[in-house]
């Protein structure tokens, strides 16, 4: 397989359709956390969302490896879409007596993704490469499936153990070349970011629909929307293009490792930060004149930490500079969120202004350094 062949794959309309199911999954995760905005609730939401993220990742890697044109691949993706829709539907039951439904759906999507990837590879050499990952990945799915039928405490332990096995599987395959198609891989993750941001905008809009039309609501709505815009700029202003360039420049096992570190692992904190932002944005619009309650304030501080420092870590892993302006701005916003009782719209607006100011200052510093 030549380098040009490795890089030639466009995201198909069916893949975009598949992603729409995960918009619903993001919405359900936001609802799950909003229902229980405690440390336990956020940790539970983080676990459930990681499982959703991992299920989506199986098809991102799989389709990237085997292509998206064959009928069998399309049928497999369609089947996975239906199971994923059910998985998203039962997200609110993930810690109830019907948690086994979520566990069964997750395991089914995982196994289907692994089978599609393995069966779709064209050579025995590629299949041997994938076998470095498959056993532990399948074991993780089995542990999750068994844990779904256990008592609540043991269920959570089993699910965490299953996800740990999935992570261990990725490290076991670090020296192998999965022949990443960089454009497709980067675009799939960028689209997921857009979908997560889109869900936050939908959440803001649906909350505003139920309120009286007033100046206070309008201000809160605009502030919450600007927060989503700032996150969009934070990702697409420089990072998305640079990360794809670095992925293209890497070769062999180094490219596989970069894809894992920058995208599969590096994007999760960032995207989960967007989920937490959506939780807070709903509260900001719902109570436009009131200070955020403590539960939403600390969740907002955590969202800022995950969005900013999660992406800064990915920037560094992709070979980018240390963007200290954004780090300082994030720390200031987090301190205000944790220490100052403040109206939600003002806090979100502070975040937007601080991030935009940091990015402008950063651009000037980088430009000055380049000129020098």
In a domain, 104, yes or no: yes
CA distance 44 to 171: 25
343 sits in the region (left: phi over 0; alpha: psi -120 to 50; else beta) called: beta
Torsion angles phi and psi, residue 11, rounded to 5: -65, 130
Q: Are residues 97 and 201 in the same domain?
A: no
Percent of the chain clearing pLDDT 70 (strictly above)? 94
pLDDT given for residue 87 in this prediction: 93
pLDDT given for residue 191 in this prediction: 93
Of 147, 163, 179, the residue at which a domain comes to its end is 179
Alpha-carbon 164 to chain mean position: 18
* CA dihedral sign of residues 304, 307, 308, 309: positive
CB-based burial, 38-74: b 16+ in 10 Å, e otherwise:
eeebbebbbbbbbbbbbbbbbbbbbbbbbbbeeeebe
pLDDT given for residue 194 in this prediction: 94
Check residues 110 and 8 and name the one with the higher pLDDT: 110
pLDDT given for residue 62 in this prediction: 84
Q: Could you tell me which residues come within 8 angstroms of residue 193 by beta carbon, excluding any fewer than 6 positions away?
A: 235, 267, 270, 271, 274
pLDDT given for residue 69 in this prediction: 81
In a domain, 3, yes or no: no
In a domain, 364, yes or no: yes
Q: Are residues 262 and 196 in the same domain?
A: yes
Q: Are residues 99 and 206 in the same domain?
A: no
In a domain, 320, yes or no: yes
Of 179, 212, 247, the residue at which a domain comes to its end is 179
pLDDT given for residue 5 in this prediction: 45
Q: Are residues 231 and 159 in the same domain?
A: no
In a domain, 271, yes or no: yes
* CB-based contact 58:134 (threshold 8 Å): no
Exposed, middle or buried: residue 369 (CB in 10 Å: 0-12, 13-18, 19+)? exposed
Give the Cβ contact number of residue 332 at 10 Å: 15
Q: Are residues 50 and 190 in the same domain?
A: no
* CA dihedral sign of residues 34, 36, 41, 47: negative
Q: Are residues 300 and 218 in the same domain?
A: yes
In a domain, 1, yes or no: no
Q: Are residues 271 and 367 in the same domain?
A: yes
pLDDT given for residue 212 in this prediction: 80
The whole-number average pLDDT for the span 147-151 is 92
Give the pLDDT band (50/70/90) at residue 122.
low
**318-342 pLDDT tens trace:** 887 788 899 999 999 999 999 988 8
Q: How many structural domains compose the chain?
A: 2
Q: Are residues 127 and 160 in the same domain?
A: yes
Residue 315 in this model has a pLDDT that exceeds 60: yes
List beta partners, residue 291: 343
In a domain, 232, yes or no: yes
Give the pLDDT band (50/70/90) at residue 175.
low
In a domain, 251, yes or no: yes
Check residues 238 and 229 and name the one with the higher pLDDT: 229
Q: Are residues 175 and 316 in the same domain?
A: no
Domain with 248, as residue range(s), is 180-372
Q: Are residues 206 and 290 in the same domain?
A: yes
pLDDT given for residue 313 in this prediction: 92
Of 179, 211, 235, the residue at which a domain comes to its end is 179
Q: Are residues 170 and 259 in the same domain?
A: no
Percent of the chain clearing pLDDT 90 (strictly above)? 51
Mean pLDDT of the chain: 88
pTM metric for this prediction: 0.91
* CA dihedral sign of residues 211, 217, 220, 222: positive
Residue 9 in this model has a pLDDT that exceeds 90: no
Q: Could you tell me which residues come within 8 angstroms of residue 110 by beta carbon, excluding any fewer than 6 positions away?
A: 54, 55, 58, 137, 140, 141, 144
pLDDT given for residue 3 in this prediction: 44
Q: Are residues 43 and 162 in the same domain?
A: yes
pLDDT given for residue 124 in this prediction: 66
């Amino acid at each position: 397989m030549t380098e040009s062949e490795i890089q030639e794959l466009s995201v198909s309309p069916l893949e975009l359709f598949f992603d729409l199911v995960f918009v619903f999954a993001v919405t359900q995760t936001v609802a799950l956390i909003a229902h229980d905005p405690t440390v336990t609730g956020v940790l539970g939401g983080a676990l459930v969302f990681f499982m959703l993220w991992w299920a989506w990742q199986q098809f991102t890697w799989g389709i990237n490896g085997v292509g998206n044109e064959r009928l069998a691949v399309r049928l497999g993706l369609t089947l996975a879409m239906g199971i994923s829709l059910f998985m998203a539907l039962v997200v609110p039951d993930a810690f109830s007596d019907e948690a086994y439904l979520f566990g069964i759906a997750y395991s089914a999507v995982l196994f289907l993704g692994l089978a599609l990837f393995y069966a779709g590879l064209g050579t025995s050499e590629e299949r041997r490469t994938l076998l470095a990952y498959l056993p532990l990945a399948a074991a993780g799915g089995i542990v999750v499936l068994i844990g779904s039928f256990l008592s609540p405490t043991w269920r959570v332990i089993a699910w965490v153990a299953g996800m740990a096995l999935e992570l261990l599987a990725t490290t076991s395959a670090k020296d192998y070349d999965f022949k990443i198609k960089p454009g497709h891989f980067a675009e799939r993750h960028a689209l997921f970011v857009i979908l997560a941001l889109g869900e936050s905008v939908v959440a803001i809009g649906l909350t505003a629909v139920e309120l009286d039309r007033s100046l206070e609501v309008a201000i809160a709505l605009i502030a919450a929307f600007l927060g989503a815009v700032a996150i969009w700029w934070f990702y697409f202003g420089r990072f998305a293009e640079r990360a794809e360039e670095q992925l293209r420049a890497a070769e062999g096992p180094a490219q596989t490792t970069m894809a894992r570190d920058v995208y599969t692992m590096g994007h999760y904190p960032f995207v989960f930060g967007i989920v937490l932002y959506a939780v807070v944005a709903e509260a900001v619009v719902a109570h436009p004149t009131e200070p955020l309650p403590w539960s939403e304030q600390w969740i907002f501080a955590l969202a800022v930490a995950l969005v900013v420092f999660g992406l800064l870590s990915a920037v560094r892993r992709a070979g980018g500079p240390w963007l200290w302006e954004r780090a300082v701005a994030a720390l200031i916003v987090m301190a205000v969120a944790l220490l100052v009782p403040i109206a939600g719209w003002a806090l979100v607006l502070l975040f937007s202004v601080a991030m935009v100011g940091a990015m402008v200052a950063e651009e000037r510093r980088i430009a000055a350094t380049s000129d020098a």
